[in-house]
């Protein structure tokens, strides 16, 4: 098995392990997608299969700030939007990403914004 295939298998198994734990919960989930330069987050209702609100780093000015600061701002803005819809408690779906760096900063922004993870 090639190295790239091993990495893909490890990533997929990590995502399935996280998703299995989240499916047991009845709360809404915050899904995260991280690209090289951007970060995207959305609040999803799995029962209805709809996205309630989302926010990304596309509209945030990145003058001197690092990527973690931008991810923190995305978390704050998403929390503000979710609280406006009456959402107070969510489950954090980090997908196949480790809870480190930008993903962790986004989660901290959500908590500081008033959401309960």
pLDDT of 31-88, one tens digit each? Answer: 999 999 999 999 999 889 899 999 999 988 776 789 999 999 999 999 999 999 999 9
For the chain, the residue count is 117
Matching CATH number, 3-112, of 3.40.50.300, 3.40.50.410, 3.30.70.1150, 3.30.420.100: 3.30.420.100
Q: Percent of the chain, pLDDT > 90?
A: 67
Could you tell me the residue ranges of all domains in the chain? Answer: 3-112
Cα–Cα distance measured from residue 75 to residue 42, given in angstroms and rounded to the nearest whole number:
10
In this prediction, residues 14-29 reach a mean pLDDT of 81
Give yes or no for a contact between 79 and 115, defined as CB atoms under 8 angstroms apart.
yes
Handedness of CA 58, 64, 67, 68 (dihedral sign): negative
The DSSP letter of residue 92 is E
């Amino acid at each position: 098995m090639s190295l790239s295939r091993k990495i893909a298998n490890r990533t997929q198994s990590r995502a399935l392990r996280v998703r299995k734990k989240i499916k047991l919960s009845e709360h809404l989930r915050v899904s995260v997608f991280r690209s090289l330069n951007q970060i995207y987050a959305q609040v999803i209702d799995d029962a209805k299969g709809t996205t309630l609100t989302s926010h990304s780093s596309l509209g945030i000015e990145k003058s001197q700030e690092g990527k973690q600061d931008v991810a923190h701002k995305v978390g704050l803005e998403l929390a503000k939007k979710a609280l406006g819809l009456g959402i107070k408690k969510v489950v954090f779906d980090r997908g196949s990403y480790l809870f480190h760096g930008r993903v962790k900063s986004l989660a901290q922004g959500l908590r500081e914004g008033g959401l309960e993870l």
